[in-house]
Amino acid sequence: MTPEPDAVGGIVRGASPAKPAAVAATTTPAASPARATPVRPHFAIEFGPFVSTAEAQRVERSLGEAGYSSVRTRKPAGSAIYAVLIDRVLTTREAKTLAAALRAQGLGDAVIVSRDPVVLRVGAPLVLRGAVELAGRLRAAGHRVRIAAQPGEASALFIRHGAYASREAAEAKRRELGQLDLPANQVVQVR
């Protein structure tokens, strides 16, 4: 009986216990550099960027409830971060009352960042788009706000779903996911 190479690593099966198993390197396609299979790109559906963890978690939860797996990543956004400030507050007491009212209205947590003059920062520092959106919601609720650049660099969260062999397959799944109440997404090529 002639021993045959195993599918994993070319190990010869059926070799005598007294003799070590031989490696059939010349007959195993994976061992031959000339026959190496080129790495083909694959595609995924990417949601984001998200400036808040809560927003990213909502998308992850929606995908999970619909039976889809996802992966969350954080990438440097390569941009500055901005704070949404309310700085026309007369006293610390007034600032604390305003912070409680903002929280009750669902507009976010506010913290006092300066006492002379009294300045409130609403939410955490955000990338510019997120700061503009938050400032718009605050203005719509009747608050006078400003946006100010902060030291540091922003990072953003992304949610990815799938590993599709072709852009067409990923686009078809993207259209299917469009039926869910999810934010805009795009097909991206993954290495």
CATH topology of domain 42-47+57-75+157-190: Alpha-Beta Plaits (3.30.70)
The stretches of 23-80 forming alpha helices (DSSP H) are 53-65
For the chain, what are the domain ranges?
A: 1-35, 42-47+57-75+157-190, 82-153
- Residue 41: burial class (beta carbons within 10 Å; 0-12, 13-18, 19+): exposed
- pLDDT tens figures, 61-105: 999 999 999 998 887 766 678 899 998 888 999 999 999 999 898
Find all residues with CB under 8 Å of 142, minimum gap 6, and list them. none
- pLDDT tens figures, 119-157: 999 988 887 888 899 999 999 999 999 999 887 776 778
**Residue 147 token pair:** 């946006």
List residues bridging with 190 in a β-sheet: 42
The CATH code belonging to domain 82-153 is 3.30.70
**Residue 185 token pair:** 């997404």
Q: Which helix (H) or strand (E) holds 175?
A: helix 167-177
pTM of the shown model? 0.46
